[in-house]
Amino acid sequence: MPNWVLRTAYHIPTIMQVVEVFYSLQGEGALTGMPSVFVRLAGCLIRCPWCDTRYAWDWDAGVQMEPRAIIDLIGQWDCRHVVITGGEPLLGQDGRAREGLVELTRRLEDRGYHLTIETSGQVFDRAVACDLMSISPKPGHLNIDALKDLLGHYRCQLKFIVPGVWDLDQIDGLVAGLGHVDRSMIWLMPLARDRAELLAIQDQVAQACLQRGWRFCQRLHILLWDGQTGR
Ligand code: SF4
């Protein structure tokens, strides 16, 4: 019997803090354009200066929900792709794996959902179920061992935000330290808060991708909706 079932058998309700659940198109990475239900969990210890979801930093943002209630909410849409995002969905307030994530992801897996987790990649918990670990490492907040474990255990994509967050030389150094990483898993993503910024910077980022054989990560949600949240 999975450990998350044992937990509920002892009647200890797992509570997760949920900022929003919404239906939209995946805007980034290998599943760009895929209709998906997004679950945004509250709380982030990292607090990047360029963050476009600051409203999710607070650990008390949104409402408290049990995993089963979250899944009921997801079920209102005729959609098989779920994206768990944040905040930082893998990392709890204590700096360890987030409480409740194993139960939520295992229940989603049991129901046949395709599950993407958007994370900075600082923590690894092999009990978490995931079909695509979408990792956007943050400078100054690296856990190389956790990154290696994530890459070894899950199907992954590595997304680096440029310019201004990462230098290409820094990315080279990090990737070299991770051992063999398939170039088709490495994406460069333009740093942009709105459509104008994205259009201004995207050619520069595309050229960097061509030079290194890495993939260009468009930001479809910014192109379509110009930085609005909840879409
Ligand atoms: S890790 Fe993500 S949610 Fe947290 S501050 Fe950085 S960009 Fe924002």
Binning pLDDT at 50, 70 and 90, where does residue 2 land? low
Residue 220 lies in a domain: yes
Residue 158 lies in a domain: yes
Residue 22 lies in a domain: yes
Candidate from 39, 41, 51 with most ligand 1 atoms within 8 A of CB, to mutate: 51
Tokens of 64: 């408290």
Residue 231 lies in a domain: no
For 163-221, the pLDDT digits (tens) are 989 999 999 999 999 998 999 999 999 999 899 999 999 999 999 999 999 999 999 99
The overall longest dimension of the chain from CA atoms, in Å, is: 56
Candidate from 38, 90, 120 with most ligand 1 atoms within 8 A of CB, to mutate: 120
120 lines ligand 1 (CB under 6 A): yes
Query: Using an 8 Å Cβ cutoff, are 158 and 135 in contact?
Result: yes
Q: Which atom of ligand 1 is nearest to the CA of 118?
A: 2
State in Å: Cα 40 to ligand 1 middle.
12
pLDDT of residue 212: 94
Residue 102 lies in a domain: yes
Give the span between the Cα atoms of 27 and 220, in whole angstroms: 4
pLDDT of residue 231: 56
Predicted model pTM: 0.93
Residue 230 lies in a domain: no
pLDDT of residue 164: 87
Averaged pLDDT, 138-142? 94
pLDDT of residue 227: 63
State in Å: Cα 6 to ligand 1 middle.
32
Q: Which atom of ligand 1 is nearest to the CA of 45?
A: 4
Give the span between the Cα atoms of 204 and 163, in whole angstroms: 9
Residue 121 lies in a domain: yes
Binning pLDDT at 50, 70 and 90, where does residue 14 land? confident
For 50-94, the pLDDT digits (tens) are 998 999 999 999 999 999 999 999 999 999 999 999 999 999 999
User: From atom 6 of ligand 1, which residue's Cα is the shortest distance away?
Assistant: 48
Q: In CATH, what number is assigned to the domain containing residue 151?
A: 3.20.20.70
pLDDT of residue 5: 55
87 lines ligand 1 (CB under 6 A): yes
165 lines ligand 1 (CB under 6 A): no
State in Å: Cα 9 to ligand 1 middle.
34
For 15-44, the pLDDT digits (tens) are 999 999 999 999 999 999 999 999 999 999
Look up the domain containing 173 and give its range.
3-225
pLDDT of residue 191: 94
Q: Which atom of ligand 1 is nearest to the CA of 87?
A: 3
Give the count of domains, the chain.
1
For 90-125, the pLDDT digits (tens) are 999 998 999 999 999 999 999 999 999 999 999 999
Give the span between the Cα atoms of 39 and 6, in whole angstroms: 24
Residue 186 lies in a domain: yes
Query: Is residue 1 predicted with pLDDT exceeding 60?
Result: no
191 lines ligand 1 (CB under 6 A): no
> Could you tell me which residue, 1 or 193, shows the higher pLDDT?
193
pLDDT of residue 180: 87
